[in-house]
Amino acid sequence: MGGLSVWQQLRENLPNESLIFFGDGLRCPYGSRSEKEVLEFTVEGVERLIAEGCRLIVIACNTATAVAIDYLREHYPNIPFVGLEPAVKPAALTTKSGVVAVLATERSLKGRLFVQTSAKYEDKVKIIKAVGEGFVEIVEQGREHTAEAKSAVERVVEPLIAAGADRIVLGCTHYPFLRETIEGVIGGRDVEVIDSGSAVCRRVAQLLDEHNLRADADAVASYRFITLADDDYLKRVESRAYGCSSEAKA
């Protein structure tokens, strides 16, 4: 379900581009799995998307990006890939307190991209890392507006604010679905929540132009959804996809 937070922004910002969404509801979450498993699952998904005719692929999962993006770019040189990494840079450049918190999965926080990006700013700001325990499962089950979700968010977010963080980076594509709950816990305190969605859209647009892949201005976009899970999960994916967009399903 997490990749739908990226799907939403792509659909709204690139309305002429057709999108195929692959969601691995069968084996999610990836965050606590081994690197071998995550790489295997990600390659399987990429192969499926290529078979469906995709010419640009967004790895709409921070964990999969952390583990697999280098492998994918090496082994599929003709496919432009866009990966996700926690938005440390904008958080570090705008923090007033000098403390930035990054919420992500365990695997993402160990990934090369995050480690390298964090190293650029660790001498300027304090970066606190935290795992969103239970967040992915809550979103997968559609329970982000429950008392359970609020309690889970409070357990993770309150210590970050107490430690002085005034920027909280959402480093997992599931977490934006909890944004309203996170902001509710923050309340009136001067803390900003940041995610990577807009940066991903800009990079996708740039690559579409660089590789001459952009759809015609009058193209009518189509949307398809694929999952390894059952039909009920697929229906929930489709429902959430259109429900989280500002437009109604056509």
Q: Which of 99, 102, 68, 105 is nearest to 83 (CA)?
A: 68
The pLDDT score that the predictor gives to residue 245 is: 39
Q: What is the pLDDT of residues 179-193, one digit of tens each?
A: 999 999 999 999 999
pLDDT band at residue 26 using 50, 70 and 90 as cut-offs: confident
pTM, to two decimals:
0.85
Residue 29 has what pLDDT? Answer: 80
Q: What is the mean pLDDT of residues 57-62?
A: 94
Nearest-5° angle of CA 108, CA 103, CA 14?
Answer: 80
Phi, psi (rounded to 5 degrees) for 6: -80, -40
Mean of all residue pLDDT scores within the chain: 91
| pLDDT score recorded for residue 117 | 86
Q: Which of 2, 165, 149, 48 is nearest to 96 (CA)?
A: 165
What per-residue confidence (pLDDT) applies to 152?
97
110 — pLDDT class (breaks 50, 70, 90): confident
Question: pLDDT by residue (tens digit) across 235-247?
Answer: 989 988 887 433 3
205 versus 2: which is more confidently predicted?
A: 205
Q: What confidence category does residue 250 fall into, taking pLDDT thresholds of 50, 70 and 90?
A: very low
In whole angstroms, what is the distance from residue 61 CA to residue 105 CA?
10
* Active site (catalytic) residues: 61, 172
Domains of the chain, CATH where assigned: 4-84+197-243 (3.40.50.1860), 88-194 (3.40.50.1860)
Residue 31: its pLDDT value, please? 79
Average pLDDT over residues 217-233: 93
Are 184 and 158 a contacting pair, CB within 8 Å?
Answer: no
